[in-house]
């Protein structure tokens, strides 16, 4: 029953907060929502001791008396791992919303949806049955869709509809696979399916797995199914982008783990395909991230790219690979959640998310700057932050696997990491440093309030702790138990890891040495001068220094990137637009050629009937002599017939 309450508490609280918002003051409702999120997190933690003794499994309702379909709960290591992450990030996002969303209208609906969103994500990961998983998965989709279109602007609606149509169609395709598994095994129960295992012995099973991957991959943002992400994240309010990127897409990853590593016993070629998809996702994501001018769009592309690492880890399929992927799931939730919150803080103060118009915020918003820097270094895989630790494990898994293909994957993944760093240098530079140009937006007020900065500081602290004490805390306490629960070996049995604490110590030493040199030398009094542009006087923007923004624009001209960018801008790489074009043409064809021609057929029938009647009417001319002739003719025929 305790397991169920991590779904029921937020769901009930959602309804209560809707009522509270109508009846009492805004503040009561806001604090109530945050408290509900906190209680959910606490209850999730309470579940840990129980699950240590073995998975919790119980059935709630046999669906309509159909055998093998039920609403049931199954909490094992993996589910609990995910739901801890969900509840924690949910609480931080709710706390952050207190201040961030303060100025918005319609907040009753916002908190309602947010709590439903948290509850449904928890529901999806503790579902013990594919039917109940699908149920919560769809609730998750609809509640996040409504959150994306929350502000009601045209941009948000377009992005939201794209998101909804893509993911909902994907889940319907996945439903086909769920049905096929049910048809093959007669059950939808996840533990039963895991213990039975599905062999890859017919082409149909391959198709089933492919459909699963499509449905889940759309949600997780695997290239080429990722195109909703860069539109939806910028449109959503920042705490929601942080939740979606931090945990929602991980629910997709969760199910991919279940399907690929537990339910199906996949073949080696499938592993390679998944690895390839992972690498493709890393590279495409980061290549597009580099040239973005919109801060949140940039982060969205990085989400795609980081998901690539997780997929790569899952694709490798060894203990190290899965462990790295799981670790990266935590890390990505923290640093990407943090990045969205930081950019949210910038938007909150400046109302601007266009990188061209931001600059020099480091002095005004020091906490935001430092936390954002930590997150940026972490996502770029710089030691000793957590991003490095998990990426390294994935690299090590690739090395351990060996072989030409895996080495190529390794090179590509490392290249992706370097590009990530390049991209985040640009973000840090344009938003927090640099500046001085006339076109910049000036922030209203200084640092954001504690309600917003507390979640940021907590997450930044976690990024450091999880990196420096990678083996002592996250790998030992979170990842290894989950691996054990999934029937893999714990990570501690592997030799040859790097030592993060030593690395951190050396880094601190190096930084200290640098600081000493900086303080002793006369670098402080650096001389500045006008840039030399061949003696010409150019416009102010150029003379005051070239921004990082412009610098990165040159990448757009490098082949083969140039080709990709051009295609992307024309919308030709977007699977959604192509498919929708196809649907539009098909529906026009069906409507005009089939539907309307059937209607015309009926009209034609009616016209034919009318014609017949008109012709027959001519006989009834009303002229007496002609009637007499008719009578005569009739008589003659009668006589002829009778005489015969």
In angstroms, the CA 81 to CA 44 distance is: 10
**Out of 6, 139, 255, 482, the residue judged to bind another protein by CB under 8 A:** 139
Of 65 and 438, the one with the shorter C-beta distance to another protein is 65
Interface with another protein by CB under 8 A: which range of 58-66, 246-254, 314-322, 492-500? 58-66
Our finding on whether 108 is near another protein (CB under 8 A) is no
Q: Count CB neighbours of 128 within 10 A.
A: 27
Which own/partner contact pairs does 548-555 have at CB distance under 8 Å and 24+ positions apart? 548/425, 548/426, 548/429, 548/430, 548/434, 549/293, 549/355, 549/356, 549/426, 549/430, 551/426, 552/290, 552/291, 552/423, 552/426, 553/291, 555/290, 555/291
Query: Which of 105, 110, 113, 123 shows the shortest CA–CA distance to 4?
Result: 123
Our finding on whether 169 is near another protein (CB under 8 A) is yes
Of 589 and 627, the one with the shorter C-beta distance to another protein is 589
Q: Find the shortest distance in angstroms from Cβ 624 to another protein.
A: 35
Of 77 and 217, the one with the shorter C-beta distance to another protein is 217
Interface with another protein by CB under 8 A: which range of 231-239, 324-332, 516-524, 578-586? 578-586
Measured CA distances, 601 to 432, 592, 610 (Å): 68, 13, 14
Of 133 and 254, the one with the shorter C-beta distance to another protein is 133
Of 42 and 603, the one with the shorter C-beta distance to another protein is 603
Q: Find the shortest distance in angstroms from Cβ 192 to another protein.
A: 17
State in Å, rounded, how far the first CA of the chain is from the last one: 97
Of 105 and 541, the one with the shorter C-beta distance to another protein is 105
Please list every residue from 145 through 164 that binds another protein, using CB under 8 A: 149, 152, 154, 157, 161, 164
**Per-residue x/- track, 60-79, another protein (CB under 8 A):** -x-xxxx-------------
Interface with another protein by CB under 8 A: which range of 131-139, 242-250, 508-516, 547-555? 131-139
Q: If binding means CB under 8 A, how many residues of this protein chain bind another protein?
A: 45
Quick one: 251 exposed, middle or buried, by C-beta within 10 A (0-12, 13-18, 19+)?
A: buried
In angstroms, the CA 616 to CA 613 distance is: 5
Q: Find the shortest distance in angstroms from Cβ 145 to another protein.
A: 9
Interface with another protein by CB under 8 A: which range of 23-31, 128-136, 217-225, 358-366? 128-136
Of 109 and 494, the one with the shorter C-beta distance to another protein is 109
Please list every residue from 178 through 237 that binds another protein, using CB under 8 A: 178-180, 182-183
Q: Find the shortest distance in angstroms from Cβ 128 to another protein.
A: 17
Q: Find the shortest distance in angstroms from Cβ 158 to another protein.
A: 9
Of 63 and 465, the one with the shorter C-beta distance to another protein is 63
Our finding on whether 138 is near another protein (CB under 8 A) is yes
33: left (phi over 0), alpha (psi -120 to 50) or beta: alpha
In angstroms, the CA 544 to CA 313 distance is: 45
In angstroms, the CA 28 to CA 608 distance is: 72
Of 518 and 589, the one with the shorter C-beta distance to another protein is 589
* Helix and strand totals (H; E) in the chain: 26, 2
Which own/partner contact pairs does 619-623 have at CB distance under 8 Å and 24+ positions apart? none
In angstroms, the CA 599 to CA 531 distance is: 73
Please list every residue from 580 through 639 that binds another protein, using CB under 8 A: 583-584, 586-588, 590-592, 594-595, 598-599, 601-602
**Out of 165, 272, 465, 501, the residue judged to bind another protein by CB under 8 A:** 165
Classify 472 as helix, strand or coil.
coil
In angstroms, the CA 104 to CA 360 distance is: 27
Q: Find the shortest distance in angstroms from Cβ 137 to another protein.
A: 9
Of 533 and 590, the one with the shorter C-beta distance to another protein is 590
In angstroms, the CA 558 to CA 450 distance is: 44
Our finding on whether 4 is near another protein (CB under 8 A) is no
Strand partners for 61 = 71
In angstroms, the CA 90 to CA 98 distance is: 13
Would you tell me which residues interact with another protein (CB under 8 A)? 61, 63-66, 131, 134-136, 138-139, 141-142, 149, 152, 154, 157, 161, 164-165, 168-169, 172-173, 175-176, 178-180, 182-183, 583-584, 586-588, 590-592, 594-595, 598-599, 601-602
């Amino acid at each position: 029953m305790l397991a169920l309450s991590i779904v029921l508490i937020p769901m009930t609280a959602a309804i209560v907060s809707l009522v509270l918002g109508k009846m009492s003051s805004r503040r009561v409702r806001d604090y109530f929502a945050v408290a509900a999120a906190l209680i959910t997190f606490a209850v999730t933690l309470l579940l840990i001791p129980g699950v240590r003794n073995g998975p919790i499994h119980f059935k709630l309702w046999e669906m309509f008396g159909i055998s093998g379909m039920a609403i049931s709960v199954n909490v094992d290591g993996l589910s609990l791992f995910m739901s801890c992450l969900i509840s924690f990030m949910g609480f931080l996002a709710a706390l952050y919303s207190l201040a961030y969303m303060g100025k918005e209208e319609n907040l009753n609906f916002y908190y309602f949806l947010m709590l439903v969103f948290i509850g449904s994500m928890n529901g999806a990961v503790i579902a013990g049955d594919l039917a109940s998983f699908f149920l919560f998965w769809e609730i998750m989709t609809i509640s996040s869709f409504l959150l994306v279109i929350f502000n009601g602007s045209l941009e948000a609606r377009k992005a939201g509809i794209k998101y909804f149509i893509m993911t909902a169609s994907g889940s319907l395709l996945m439903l086909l696979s769920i049905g096929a598994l049910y048809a093959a095994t007669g059950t939808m129960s996840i533990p039963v399916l895991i213990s039975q295992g599905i062999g890859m012995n017919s082409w149909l099973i391959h198709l089933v797995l492919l459909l699963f991957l499509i449905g889940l991959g759309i949600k997780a943002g695997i290239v080429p199914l990722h195109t909703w992400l860069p539109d939806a994240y910028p449109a959503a309010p920042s705490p929601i982008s942080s939740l979606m990127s931090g945990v929602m897409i991980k629910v997709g990853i969760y199910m991919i783990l279940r399907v690929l590593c537990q339910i199906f016993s996949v073949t080696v070629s499938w592993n390679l395909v998944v690895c390839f998809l992972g690498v493709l996702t890393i590279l495409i994501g980061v290549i597009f991230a580099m040239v973005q001018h919109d801060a949140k769009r940039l982060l969205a592309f990085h989400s795609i790219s980081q998901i690539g690492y997780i997929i790569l880890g899952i694709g490798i399929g060894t203990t190290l690979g899965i462990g790295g992927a799981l670790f990266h799931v935590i890390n990505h939730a923290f640093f990407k959640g943090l990045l969205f919150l930081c950019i949210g803080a910038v938007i909150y103060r400046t109302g601007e998310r266009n990188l061209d118009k931001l600059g020099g915020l480091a002095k005004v918003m020091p906490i935001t700057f430092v936390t954002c820097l930590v997150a940026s270094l972490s996502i770029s895989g710089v030691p000793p932050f957590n991003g490095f630790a998990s990426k390294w494990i994935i690299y090590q898994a690739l090395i351990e696997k060996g072989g030409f293909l895996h080495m190529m994957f390794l090179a590509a993944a490392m290249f992706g990491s370097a590009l990530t760093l390049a991209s985040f240098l640009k973000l840090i530079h344009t938003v927090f440093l640099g500046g001085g140009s006339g076109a910049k937006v000036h922030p209203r007020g200084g640092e954001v309030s504690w309600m917003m900065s507390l979640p940021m500081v907590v997450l930044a602290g976690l990024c450091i702790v999880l990196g420096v004490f990678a083996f002592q805390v996250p790998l030992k306490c979170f990842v290894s138990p989950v691996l054990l629960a999934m029937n893999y070996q714990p990570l501690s049995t592997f030799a040859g890891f790097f030592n993060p604490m030593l690395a951190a110590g050396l880094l601190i030493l190096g930084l200290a040495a640098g600081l000493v040199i900086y303080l002793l030398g006369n670098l402080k009094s650096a001389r500045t001068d006008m840039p030399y542009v061949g003696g010409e006087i150019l416009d102010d923007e150029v003379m005051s220094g070239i921004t990082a923004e412009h610098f990165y624009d040159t990448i757009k001209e490098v082949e083969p990137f140039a080709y990709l960018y051009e295609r992307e801008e024309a919308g030709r790489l977007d699977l959604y637009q192509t498919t929708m074009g196809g649907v539009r043409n098909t529906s026009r064809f069906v409507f005009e050629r089939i539907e309307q021609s059937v209607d015309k057929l009926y009209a034609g029938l009616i016209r034919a009937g009318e014609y017949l009647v008109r012709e027959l009417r001519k006989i009834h001319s009303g002229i007496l002599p002609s009637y007499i002739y008719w009578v005569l003719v009739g008589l003659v025929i009668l006589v002829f017939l009778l005489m015969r």
